[in-house]
């Protein structure tokens, strides 16, 4: 069983000599600033080993991965019948190859999952040597346990079982909400759990922040915040959060000193942004200077944009693990995970 938690930039992969990596300044993609890396492909013949099944509407992440690997995605048709069923057809040679399924880019989580299951089944039936689901944001990851009682499903486990049943052999993901989810894969489905912290750290270093403290927005993210604090070499603080209901939380207490300091709130997911907005308000009442937010997965659902616009936050930095929203506010900056994901793909197949 190969479970890997890869937290270093792409060049640390042993296959990474195939790509040259250079930093690009901010560029406009999908109406959002994306800070990324570009690679020059030196690997002829990789297209004979792997095949890429794209999403319906390619994201910037997908395009960057294809460019760095020098592999064009297969022509793939996805359509929905009037009754809601999904149809998939893949045009191209698959037999004997490692087939990578890029993350579905629709707005409906359940439709995206069904699309992934069908693509995996189609690839397996077409003779794929191995099917790898690239799922930077692992759906249902926050339902990894029964939180309120016995009459609840463990949806993260069910999703893993369905991926396996549909033909998926491996998974590449980014910053799982809980590392224990890897265990749901069993010993026959390797999970590569990449970390966003290295690209976040690189971006933060470019800001040249002084007198900094890393803040965990809740007690569940303390280990994550502690790791970034050690990498930067600064103190950390913790916000004690009380959750009233799903997507409703309030910041109750602060542990640590933030007075006169630049604060970096470090979380894995921003959904409706209630936790982040409340934490930022609490930090300001305690004398914090500028407040930055880092999150691996910027979902920004509901009125998240409005909350973040009104919150005392200078910048929100998220990876492009999910498709950027069309109405993204100026405060939000994206960092690119394509080099890390391309490196993981090479680690598996090249």
Phi, psi of 173 (to 5 degrees): -140, 175
Half-sphere exposure of 23 (CA within 13 A, CB side): 9
pLDDT at 272 over 60: yes
pLDDT at 120 over 80: yes
- % of the chain beyond a pLDDT of 70: 84
Mean pLDDT of the 287-315 span? 96
pLDDT at 87 over 60: yes
Element holding 277 (H helix, E strand) = helix 274-285
Contact 116, 76 (CB under 8 A): no
Tell me whether strands 19-23 and 37-41 are parallel, antiparallel or unpaired. antiparallel
4/316: higher pLDDT: 316
Strands, DSSP E only, in the chain? 3-4, 19-23, 27-29, 32-35, 37-41, 50-53, 75-80, 86-91, 98-101, 130-135, 170-174, 191-194, 212-216, 235-245, 248-255, 262-270, 291-298, 315-319, 332-335
- CA torsion, points 299, 305, 306, 309, in degrees to nearest 10? 130
pLDDT at 43 over 80: no
Q: What is the pLDDT of residues 127-164, one digit of tens each?
A: 999 999 999 999 999 999 988 777 899 999 999 999 99
d(CA 50, CA 66) in angstroms, rounded, equals 11
Catalytic residue among 241, 307, 323, 333: 241
Cβ partners under 8 Å of residue 330, min gap 6: none
d(CA 164, CA 42) in angstroms, rounded, equals 33
Q: What is the pLDDT of residues 158-184, one digit of tens each?
A: 999 999 999 999 999 999 999 889 999
Contact 224, 201 (CB under 8 A): no
Active-site residue 241, yes or no?
yes
pTM of the model: 0.85
Half-sphere exposure of 339 (CA within 13 A, CB side): 27
Q: Report pLDDT for 233.
A: 93
């Amino acid at each position: 069983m190969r479970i890997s938690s890869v937290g270093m930039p792409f060049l640390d992969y042993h296959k990474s000599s195939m790509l040259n990596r250079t930093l690009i300044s901010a560029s406009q993609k999908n109406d959002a600033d994306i800070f990324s890396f570009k690679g020059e492909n030196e690997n002829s013949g990789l297209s004979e080993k792997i095949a890429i099944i794209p999403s319906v509407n390619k994201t910037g992440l997908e395009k960057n991965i294809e460019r760095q690997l020098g592999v064009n995605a297969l022509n793939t048709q996805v359509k929905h019948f009037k009754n809601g069923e999904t149809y998939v057809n893949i045009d191209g040679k698959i037999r004997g190859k490692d087939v990578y399924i890029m993350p579905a880019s629709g707005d409906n989580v359940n439709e995206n999952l069904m699309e992934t299951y069908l693509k995996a089944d189609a690839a397996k039936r077409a003779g794929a040597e191995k099917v790898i689901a690239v799922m930077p944001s692992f759906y249902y990851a926050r339902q990894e346990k029964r939180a309120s009682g016995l009459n609840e499903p463990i949806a993260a486990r069910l999703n893993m079982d369905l991926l396996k049943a549909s033909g998926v052999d491996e998974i590449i993901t980014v910053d799982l909400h809980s590392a224990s989810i890897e265990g749901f894969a069993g010993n026959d489905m390797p999970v590569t759990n990449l970390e966003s912290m290295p690209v976040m750290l690189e971006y933060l270093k470019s800001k040249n922040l002084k007198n900094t403290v890393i803040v965990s927005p809740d007690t569940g993210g303390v280990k994550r915040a502690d790791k970034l604090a050690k990498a930067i070499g600064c103190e950390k603080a913790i916000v004690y959060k009380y959750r009233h209901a799903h997507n409703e939380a309030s910041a109750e207490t602060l542990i640590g000193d933030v007075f006169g300091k630049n604060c970096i709130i470090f979380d894995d997911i921003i959904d409706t942004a209630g936790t982040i907005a409340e934490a930022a308000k609490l930090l300001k009442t305690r004398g914090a200077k500028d407040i930055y937010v880092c999150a691996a997965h910027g979902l920004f659902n509901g009125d998240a944009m409005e909350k973040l616009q009104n919150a005392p936050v200078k910048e929100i930095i998220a990876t492009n693990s999910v498709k950027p929203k069309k109405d993204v506010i100026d405060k939000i900056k994206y960092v690119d995970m394509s080099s890390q994901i391309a490196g993981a793909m090479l680690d598996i197949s090249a």
